[in-house]
Each structure stands twice: as structure tokens, then as C-alpha cells.
Structure 1
Amino acid sequence: MISRRLAAVPVAVALLLAGCSSSGTPSSDSETGAPSAADASSLLRDFGLDGMDTREVIDHLDRLGGDDRPTDLMASIRTDEVVLSDGTRETTLPMPADELYVSMAPYVDQTHDCFFHSLTTCQGELVNADVDILVRDDQGEVVLEETTTTYANGFVGVWLPRDLTGTVALTVDGRSVEAPLSTTADSATCLTGLQLA
């Protein structure tokens, strides 16, 4: 039997993370109102993200937890882009046209509300827990089936085809949950209402 570790999230942290889908205020080019290229480049460089594509940035940031997370960077996954901001500078990275990243946090006792996953502030309850994931489309066809481990932030992320509607089933230590799932233009990228029973 594989052991699983539960990590409780303090109430104060859970309250702080309730706003995990917000993003900072961008700096902008005075003529266009858009973030300047220099600011965008320096933002990525300052956080060690320069040279990474969207998938690599997401994978890097989503696996961080605790003190490894940058405290002055907000990184929000939208359906069309990842928005990165340090409060004065902002840049965006385009999401792939054919796939969407969905981050999920199964839980037993504690969760937080979220719609757009924050790679730097969202914290789930179950850290380093083995989880079985089964995604089916509306016709019942299996889209994804894998066993993986939740990250240090208590989440596990998956890349799914665009325009999918179906369900996701998660099983952790003999407890399971099933919930609706979609990857349309107005879908959530953060699923936190996944209470295991």
C-alpha cells in the first residue's frame, strides 16, 4: 500500500487564497496602453522564466509550493492566456489553440473558491497524494486515464483537448469524487469543489 500525506491548510491561508483568480495591475506603454515589451521581457527574466514557453512556465510554477513560490508574482491561467504580473509589470503567454490546462485540487476537509487557477497562490489540502484521474467525454469515451501525484501546492494539472464537455473522476486513498468538466472558452481552469467521499 502506498502511503499518502495530508497537509492541512490554515484557515488564514485559505481565506487569503479565496481571491486566487485575481491578477495584478499592469504597467503599460504610454501610447498604446499595452504592457511594454521591455517590461514583459524583464518580468520573465526576473522570475527565471525567460526562454520558457507557456507549457514550461505552467509546469514550473504549478509544481512549486511553500517557500519555493515567488511571493511577488501573480500568474493566472485563463482559457486563452497565462497572465503574469508583479503588480507593476504584466505580460501574457498564449495558451495552445488545441488544448487547455485544468488544475484540480481534490480535498477531504478544506478548499477554497477559484475559477482561474493561480500558479503562485492557490493551495490545496492534499500534498504529494497519489491520485487516479479518469476523464470521459459526454459520450462516455475515455479522454484521459492516469495515476499521478499532487504537487506541493495540493493540485494536479492536466492538458485536455479544447471544446470538451464531460466528467472527471478522482480517487485518492480509496475516496472518490466525480464532477462535470469542460474546456470551452468560458470554462474554469481551477477545480476546487472536488470533495472526496
Structure 2
Amino acid sequence: MRRRTITMVTAVLVLAGCSSGTTAGEDANETLPAAGTSTGASASEEASADDPLLLAYDLAGMEPTEIIEHLDALGGAERPADLMASVRVDELLLSDASGELTLALPEDRFYLSVAPYVDQTHECFYHSLTTCQGELTGEAVEVTVLDDAGDVILNEERTTAENGFVGMWLPRDVEGTVRITADGRTGEVPFSTGDDGATCLTTLQLA
């Protein structure tokens, strides 16, 4: 189900899951305010493929999963500067000065984006597709995702995007470990794809 919510511009500010860069060792997993928080009234209506917000950023006709993959692959000047896009457990929140659009995600899939780092990282919980920036861009990495039973969910050779992240679709309601190896360095962090799971992991340090 898609729904469009017209809110005050202040709602845009709470969608970003990432802050400015911080040095390693600082808290990089802070929970952020709920999306769509606003002191103003709101109204809802069904969103359609020709929704003005989707049209404005050439996203019309894309499924929510396709929008996530498209935006997460961009970096630098290619990113739409006026668009905020926050990946939550079960929905994608899009927002600009005109309002906010909420798109439902598949019930059985969870999008997790991981930014491996060596020296510098940043705080993140819900992944922001248009503002998050990781340290390592265009880096060849080996990604292994294991569940708590030790079974392999994913094992792939990937390249970090221009935003320094590796995005992956995982099954819902799973806990386990993400392990990434790059240039002889390896790091791993726990993850959860449950209702309280983070869609953005920036605590995986390569050493």
C-alpha cells in the first residue's frame, strides 16, 4: 500500500539516518526520531505512479525496491539534493519541500546497507539514501552474511557504491553476523532484520 502525506517542511529533517562524519570509536548506532514527525496537521491520499514527488526525481514507474537500489547506487552530485529518502524496516519514506510519500516494502524482505570503514565512520540507524556517505568508495569487498545458526544467507563479491555502502536484501526476522573482507582486512558486526532492526550499519571496521 502506498500513501502520500502532506506535511510541514520540518518533517524533512527527521528522515535523515546519517549525521556528519565521526572518528572511529564514537557511538555509531543511535536511534533517531520516528519518521514523519511534525507539529502540523496532515492529510493522506493514495499515491500513484504519476505522483508529483516521484515524477520530480525520475522515480515514476519504479517499484519501491527499485527506487532504493537506484538511489543507493548514487553518490556526489548525482544525488538529488532536495530529496530525503529513509529506509525503514517495512517502508521507504521520501520527502522534499512539497511533502512526504510513504511506500510499503515487501513483508518478507529487509534492506540492509553496510558501510565498512578503516579510519572514519558516522552515526546511523535508518539508512538515508541521499545523505549517508561511507569512507570506502569503489572498493572490492567480499560479503558474507550468516544467521545465528551459522548458515550462509549471502556470500558475494561486491563493490562499494559511490556512497561507500554495500546494500543487500535479506530475509525478515533473522539475526546473525555480517562479515566483510577488503584488501586483506576483515571486520564483522551483528545484525537483525526484526521490527527493531537497523537498516544502516556503520560499525563494521576493517582491521
Same fold (TM over 0.5): yes
Q: Which residue of 1 aligns with 2:189?
A: 179
Distance 1:181 1:37 in 2: 32
Q: Which whole-Å deviations, capped at 9, do the CAs of 1:94-148 have from their partners, x for residues lacking one? A: 1111110100000011110000000000000000001111111111111110010
Distance 1:65 1:35 in 2: 32
Q: Quick one: percent identity of the two aligned structures?
A: 55
Distance 2:64 2:100 in 1: 15
Q: Which amino acid aligns with 1:143?
A: I
Q: Does residue 1:33 correspond to 2:43, yes or no?
A: yes
Q: Normalized against structure 2, the TM-score is what?
A: 0.80
Q: 1:98 to 1:165 in 2, by over 3 A?
A: same
1:35/1:89 contact within 8 Å kept: no
1:36 Cα deviation (Å)? Answer: 6.7
Match of 1:189 among 190, 199, 205: 199
Moved over 3 A (4+): 21-26, 35-38
Q: Which amino acid aligns with 1:14?
A: G
Q: CA RMSD in A?
A: 2.5
Consecutive unaligned residues in structure 1, runs of 5 or more: 1-11
Consecutive unaligned residues in structure 2, runs of 5 or more: 1-18, 23-27
1:178 Cα deviation (Å)? Answer: 1.1
1:88 Cα deviation (Å)? Answer: 2.9
1:87 Cα deviation (Å)? Answer: 3.0
Distance 2:98 2:203 in 1: 32
2:114/2:166 contact within 8 Å kept: yes
Match of 2:130 among 120, 135, 149: 120
Listed as ranges, the matches of 1:37-76 within 5 Å are 37=47, 41-76=51-86
Distance 1:193 1:55 in 2: 24
Q: Which one has a larger percent strand, Structure 1 or Structure 2?
A: 2
1:35 Cα deviation (Å)? Answer: 5.7
Q: Normalized against structure 1, the TM-score is what?
A: 0.83
Q: Which residue of 2 aligns with 1:9?
A: none
Listed as ranges, the matches of 1:36-185 within 5 Å are 37=47, 41-185=51-195
2:91/2:102 contact within 8 Å kept: yes
Q: 1:37 to 1:143 in 2, by over 3 A?
A: closer
Q: Which amino acid aligns with 1:86?
A: D
1:151 Cα deviation (Å)? Answer: 0.2
2:133/2:163 contact within 8 Å kept: yes
Give the number of aligned pairs.
180
Query: Secondary structure, in 3 states, of the residue corresponding to 2:130?
Result: coil
1:14 Cα deviation (Å)? Answer: 2.2
Query: Secondary structure, in 3 states, of the residue corresponding to 2:190?
Result: strand
Q: Which amino acid aligns with 1:63?
A: A
Q: Which amino acid aligns with 2:167?
A: G
